[in-house]
Chains A and B, each alone.
Chain A
Amino acid sequence: MAMLGVFVALDLFLFFVFWEIMLIPMYFIIGVWGGKRRIYAAVKFFLFTAIGSLLMLVAIVVMVYLYYRQFGVITFAYNEIVQLPIARDLQFWLFAAFALAFAIKVPLFPVHTWLPDAHVEAPTAGSVILAGVLLKMGTYGFLRFALPFFSHAATSTAVVNTVILLGLIGIIYGAWVAAVQPDAKKLVAYTSIAHLGFVMLGLFALTSQGVQGGILQMVNHGISTGALFLLVGMLYERRHTRLIEDFGGIAKVMPVFAASFVLVGLSSIGLPGTNGFVGEFLILLGTFRKHPVAAFLAATGVIFAAAYMLPMVQRILYGKIDREENRKLVDINVRERIVLLPALAMILVIGVFPQPFLARTSASVDALIDQIEQRASRAPAAMEPVEFRFDRMPIYGIDVSE
């Protein structure tokens, strides 16, 4: 519920409250029902997210105060604060505070380390919520708050290049690390980092296709990675192991499971005909218009995706059944099929006919990009005397203001 609140809140105060409240149930979900290292993972998840959001809180309060200084009204309303002109140098600081909170959530490269732990230790349902909803709070935050609020800072070359670089690192590094994981769940966790790297790339390309692709890829990642976690969870329920080497040849005993696994795996790679292809293609197209080199490097990520996903699919599903336990595995039952069916259907629908999804986002994406570009050029170089005394260290008896 709190997550729903994050996405619908048009009030910074509400947004922040929901953003924080969401942490508590996730902390308990991971900590109570998680795996062996659940406490470590839960605390790491909690603290990583909290450090970002606390600094974001300071930035929010600063913006509300600036708005109050300028217009004499105290408001947390999004539509009001988005009008607020912010001096360029201050924009960088505020953007940094927001960006840190969102980047941890996404997660972008250097602050991603909580994700594999949280994903692996969380119970299946927790992983699905993490992948499907929670990570999107970060990318959504960039799109909804960080980009329009601090357009000048967010569109400056330094910031865009940094974010794109981090996104690229996420794509390629995430894929490489995923390729060597012996644990299927950890592998899927690292694919999240790669996929979210794509999303960030698309958003910060700031072209119509890039942003649309980014939004679509947010949806896609929720569907295919969520489904992958479900599938791995189903295996774990049966065998109580997630190591890839413990399986092999189970397509023979679990044909429906195998078919679903292949389809979802292909969608995660981005094969044409699945949703992953549409999203990644749009992102690459949008990025290529502005940053051809980045697009080129990102495209290699698609190849790496095949390099980690296909061997896993092959080692789990095909070959000989070389372990006795695997012979007795039962195929997925009706309940599990019902859970998977919507995801599988969406993979194909978006893959073949994405038009309804794109049509709904295209107008608002264009408006958003316009707005960001206009505001970026209008940002005041400096503002009236708002003294934020970073350096104020009063010394006894000496009035520094004199």
Chain B
Amino acid sequence: MTLDFSSQLHYLWALLPEATLTLVALIVLVADVWQRGSRSEQSGRWVGPATIAGVLLAAAANAWLLTLDVPARNAMIAMDAFRVATNFIILGATAVGLLLSFDYLDREGLHIGEYYFLVLMAAIGMMLLAGSRDLIVVFISLELMSLSVYVLTGLNRRDPRSSEGALKYFLMGAFASAFLLYGIALIFGAVGSTNLALVAPEVARGAAERNFLLLAGVTLLVVGFGFKISAVPFHMWTPDAYEGAPTPVTGFMAAGVKAAGFAAIVRIVTVELAPAAPVWQAILWWLAVLTMIVPNIIALAQDSVKRMLAYSSVAHAGYLLVGVVSASALGRSAAVFYLAVYALMTLGAFAVVYVVAGKGDEAGTLSDFRGLGWRRPLLGALLVVFLLSLAGFPPTGGFVGKLYLLSAAVEAGELALAVTLVLTSFVSYYYYLRVIWKMYFEEAPERAPLAKPGVAYRVGAIAAAAAILVAGIFPGPALRAVERASSELVPRQVAPLETPVAPMRVSTDPAGQT
């Protein structure tokens, strides 16, 4: 089918995955309210499975997008394989996150329809953010995602940690949104449009002339994204928000928000704003170095495993930034591949943590993991797979992803980044290994037996671990898929300017053309 936007329906087809999810979300919300009026406080059993079915439906619609033939490509939402790939990552993270959350919601008495509605809304925001090519859509989708996630963080309102995390996250996030919005306004001022696909020459000219508006706008935009992906030094909210949020939400936040944020950085910054590379590359370079070093060192001192994983997820943003800074096709596909693997391993790791922590998340310190591998062999083995993958150890997908990022850094000539990447991974080995040795090398303490995970949990966790191992042992198909997806992203190249470049100046002219 050819999508030429001759009829209004074509706009719906182009957004079919997002539209499907919206429909499912609304049905869930309304049906839940209607049902709760008639029966108990908790939602019906069917809400969770129905939501997952909706996510799978959206994934099918997403796959269908690939079969479309789209001649016009200057729309506000991208119609390319990269969007399809990032949509798959986000939908996959959502589905696995939901599967792994049922047990927790039951245990903490949070099994309410709003949870599913908010998760779906956040997923829609993530998908739109990952696919947007227009700064207005970037902002709207980012806010849709963020607001849903703020509420999800504070979902457990009986727990003060949850409320604290939500408030911190909200305040810092609002701050970041302001940065982002200001950056968008400045870029609009400099290039005269919010649709970046249409203004590549203006961006090139503005960058070459060192147009102050454009450079400041790009800087603020990068800072705003830096908050969302929790890059150091904009990461202060992360440990508190991640620790306070209900654990499955933490996994969903770490996987989904990061995937969407990075997809947006890759698309908006490294592709659409490619002519402004000297500015954002310098910023992202430093962000990458700091984000690799700082959280890895702080994580060494953490006693709470959840908090340790929160710092580890900040560190992973640093590894991913290496792929972004490389600003090459290899770097982009490395980042996408790593995002997919990262989403699975971080979701899985957080899910095991909440089972061990028990009701009310009371027992989440390192010493509570003692003997886990012998008491619960399957749970222990799953956590070993997730941790080794986070550490970047063969034969897991985490290793292939890191090797891929490393290759991108070397190809771009960024040996300093490559060496930082491996040395900080080395530091991280210690705190991942520490969990493993508590699980296997130390005696189990006397405590109540852990809850038996339900069917959905087992399916989700085993599927995630299996996918990680497949990605590590047999990565070929996945690598080819992400390479194909990112090959459709062609950085904006503009022929060299004929007019001589003026020295840097402050301009208030909207088009930057005086």
Contacts and interface: CB of A to CB of B under 8 A. Distances in A.
Nearest to A399: B278
A396 B426 contact: no
A20 interface: yes
A65 B403 CA distance: 13
A32 B430 CA distance: 17
B419 A28 contact: no
Given A20-B399, A58-B410, A50 B426 contact: yes
Given A57-B406, A394-B281, 10 more contacts: A21-B395, A27-B433, A39-B441, A47-B433, A54-B425, A61-B406, A389-B413, A390-B416, A394-B286, A398-B282
A51 interface: yes
B430 A397 contact: no
B415 A62 contact: yes
Contacts of A115: none
Contact of B430 (A24, A31, A38, A43): A43
A388 B415 contact: yes
Contacts of A390: 415-416
B393 A20 contact: yes
A396 to B, nearest CB: 5
A395 B282 contact: yes
Contact of B416 (A31, A64, A389): A389
B411 interface: yes
A292 B286 CA distance: 52
A57 B406 CA distance: 9
Given A17-B394, A28-B440, A46-B429, A57 B413 contact: no
Contact of B279 (A17, A389, A396): A396
B413 A387 contact: yes
Interface string A256-278: 00000000000000000000000
Interface string B157-200: 00000000000000000000000000000000000000000000
Contacts of A58: 406, 410, 415, 418-419, 422
Nearest to B421: A58
A64 B413 contact: no
Contacts of B399: 17, 20
Interface string A339-358: 00000000000000000000
B342 to A, nearest CB: 19
Contacts of A388: 413, 415
Contacts of A28: 440
Most buried by B among A42, A61, A62, A396: A61
Secondary structure type dominating chain A contacts = helix
A392 interface: yes
A81 interface: no
Contacts of A397: 210, 215, 278-279, 282
Interface string B303-341: 000000000000000000000000000000000000000
B430 A64 contact: no
A395 B278 CA distance: 9
B395 A17 contact: yes
Interface in B263-315: 278-279, 281-283, 285-286
Contacts of B419: 55, 58
Secondary structure type dominating chain B contacts = helix
Contact of A31 (B285, B395, B410, B437): B437
Nearest to A46: B433
A394 B287 CA distance: 12
B209 interface: no
Nearest to A31: B441
B422 A31 contact: no
Interface string A29-68: 0011000001100110011001100110110011011000
A91 to B, nearest CB: 15
Contacts of A387: 413
B278 A65 contact: no
Nearest to B388: A24
Contacts of B279: 396-397
A16 B392 CA distance: 13
A47 B403 contact: no
Contact of B407 (A47, A65, A394, A396): A65
B414 interface: yes
Most buried by A among B393, B406, B410, B425: B410
B423 interface: yes
A394 B425 CA distance: 23
Interface string B420-444: 0011011001100110110011100
A214 B279 CA distance: 55
A122 B286 CA distance: 43
Given A38-B441, A57-B422, A65-B410, A21 B430 contact: no
Interface in A48-103: 50-51, 54-55, 57-58, 61-62, 64-65
B395 A39 contact: no
A23 to B, nearest CB: 8
Contacts of B411: 65
B422 A54 contact: yes
Contacts of B437: 31, 39, 42-43
B406 to A, nearest CB: 5
Contacts of B426: 47, 50-51, 54
7 contacts: A21-B393, A47-B430, A54-B425, A55-B419, A392-B414, A396-B279, A397-B210
A396 B422 CA distance: 25
Interface in B382-416: 388, 393-395, 399, 403, 406-407, 410-411, 413-416
Contact of B394 (A20, A32, A42, A396): A20
A61 B407 contact: yes
Most buried by B among A47, A58, A62, A390: A58
A147 B440 CA distance: 39
A43 B433 contact: yes
A21 B430 CA distance: 17
Given A21-B394, A394-B285, A61 B403 contact: yes
B479 to A, nearest CB: 12
Given A57-B403, A399-B278, A24 B415 contact: no
B418 A61 contact: yes
A16 B402 CA distance: 13
B263 to A, nearest CB: 24
Contacts of A21: 393-395
A385 to B, nearest CB: 10
Given A58-B410, A58-B419, A47 B394 contact: no
Contacts of A31: 437, 440-441
A106 B215 CA distance: 53
B466 to A, nearest CB: 18
B7 to A, nearest CB: 46
Contacts of B286: 394
